[in-house]
Structure 1
Amino acid sequence: MILGVLRALWMIFWIFWGTLAIGGAAIVMALFGIRGPVYVRMTRRWAQVALWSSGSNAVLHGLENVTPGQPFILVANHVSWFDIFAIAARLPVDYHFVAKKELEKIPVFGLAWRVAGHISIDRTNRESAARSLRKAGEQMRQQKSVVVIFAEGTRSRTGRLLPFKKGAFVLAAETGIPIIPTIVTGSFDIMRPDTFVVRPATIHVYFEPAVPAQGVSVDALMTRTRDVFVQRLGETDSLPPLDPAPALPDPTATARGEGSA
């Protein structure tokens, strides 16, 4: 437990200084009118610092489904901040995230987020959210980049798949840009909700074959995409009552000789 707390402090230290250094540099560059994919590389470096400082790693599967120079909507599940770190640190093509507008309020990070071209959604204002999604579509077409959207709209606090929001699927249906179901596993236990303990792990990110969006309704797109998640995660889609999360093992138990055969 003590080791996990120290790891959390170490990670926060590096994320803080990484945000100041990398985010601050991005803000200064924007003031001088610098534009282009350099901000994607800076986002990637920031996420690499966060992932490294946690002692965790990310392994990507199915990268052959992400064709460079072709726009896609990566629709991902979301159980932890480490989902963001894993995708942002390892995804080798240009990308932008779509996330809640509240992130813009974080000092330095929020301004760096905007100048890097990531897209904020005001979930309390439907018209504003629609404009943000249209901006995402225009950005993908112009830059032939990837947009990353977390389908559930918020982090799952149980590790189980939540109901999907329609935003990503409206964007796909309106633009005809295919969806790549992006399934993240192994991140939930690194830092459980409402805890201050980091337990390093390997995160696996699966890029599944694209779901075509041309001529497909929003509801059909959402159903087809969710079916891919359900199959990969081994869950049912009936959303039954959840059992309490199992207790995390005590990392000092082995040293004390507890729980050994």
Structure 2
Amino acid sequence: MRRLYSFWCYFWFLGLFLLLFPFFWLFLQREKWHPKAHYLNRLWGQLFFPLCGISVDIENRATLSHNQAYVFCSNHFSYLDIAVMGVVLPHYYAFIGKSQITKVPLFGYMFRKLHIPVNRESKLERYRIVQKSVHFLQHNRSIVIFPEGGIKSKQPPRMAPFKDGAFRMAIDTQVPIVPITFPYNWQILPDDGKLLFLRKGIKVIIHEPIPTTGMTVDDMESLKDQTFTVIESELEKYFTSLQKEKQVK
């Protein structure tokens, strides 16, 4: 049954993308039309999750301004995290992801034109990406990044140490960091090589922004630690309740 359900999910995931792709292609031809392509990304997710019977419960612990750029940072335990971001964040943002994504047919074209692919093996490339991200933030376009640098953890998951990039760009532009916690996307679509979906509602916690006004590079480690702690403390609540459920069973 789980394989059949996964087939249903992938059918709609790919089917909706192919249906929307002509419009993606059109809106990606000019930079001033890119916000329309970004809206299509959001629409894609808004259609996909209900068709798969997956609810998305968003707990907003802060009211975020649509006129303010942010650096959104979350834990990253599942490929599902990328799709969920498009649903939970109404802001116009650029997502920083692995350059390998650009090799995926059609989707890679959209990602390359709309977001920021990065080759983490190249120091020069990482520097260029930080500069491009700073440019976006200065022009009121938010950045979404997984500061762990990819899916690092096995199951049960634990966060890997955060890399510096997100926090450096936030300090350089004096833009707030917004921590986001995905407690159990890793259960819905585990990174176990099987890529099978489990039908379960998604939970997202959008935390209070952490201001960076007045911070310098000397504050980067403390900002990184603060963001890590906010996300980890929420994950620990879930892992504790999960452990209790297992003990009862």
- TM-score normalised to the size of structure 1? 0.82
Alignment partner of 1:67 out of 52, 65, 68: 65
Residue 145 (structure 1) aligns with? 141
Post-superposition Cα deviations, 1:141-166, rounded to whole Å, max 9, x if no partner, equal 21x23211011111233222222121
Alignment partner of 1:121 out of 106, 118, 123: 118
- Specify the structure having the higher radius of gyration (Cα): 1
Residue 96 (structure 1) aligns with? 94
CA RMSD of aligned residues (A): 2.4
* AA matched with 1:122: N
Question: Contact between 2:93 and 2:142, CA under 8 Å: does it hold in 1?
Answer: yes
Residue 254 (structure 1) aligns with? none
Where do 5+ consecutive residues of structure 2 fail to align?
238-242
Shift of 1:52: 3.2
Residue 9 (structure 2) aligns with? 11
- TM-score normalised to the size of structure 2? 0.85
**Larger % of helix: which?**
2
Find the residue that maps to 2:186 and give its secondary structure: coil
- Is residue 135 from structure 1 mapped to residue 132 from structure 2 by the alignment? yes
Distance change (3 Å), C-alpha of 1:163 and 1:114:
same
Aligned-partner Cα distance in 2 for 1:31–1:225:
37
1:222-233 paired onto structure 2 within 5 Å: 222-233=224-235
* AA matched with 2:235: L
Aligned-partner Cα distance in 2 for 1:213–1:177:
6
Aligned-partner Cα distance in 2 for 1:220–1:38:
37
Q: Which runs of 4+ in 1 moved over 6 A?
A: none
Alignment partner of 1:55 out of 42, 53, 57: 53
Residue 76 (structure 1) aligns with? 74
Aligned-partner Cα distance in 1 for 2:82–2:104:
16
Post-superposition Cα deviations, 1:96-129, rounded to whole Å, max 9, x if no partner, equal 21111111111100111123x2111110111111
* AA matched with 1:125: S
Post-superposition Cα deviations, 1:225-257, rounded to whole Å, max 9, x if no partner, equal 11112222227xxxxxxxxxx9xx9xxxxxxxx
Aligned-partner Cα distance in 1 for 2:50–2:147:
26
Question: Contact between 1:58 and 1:203, CA under 8 Å: does it hold in 2?
Answer: yes
Shift of 1:137: 1.8
Identity %: 24
Where do 5+ consecutive residues of structure 1 fail to align?
236-245, 250-260
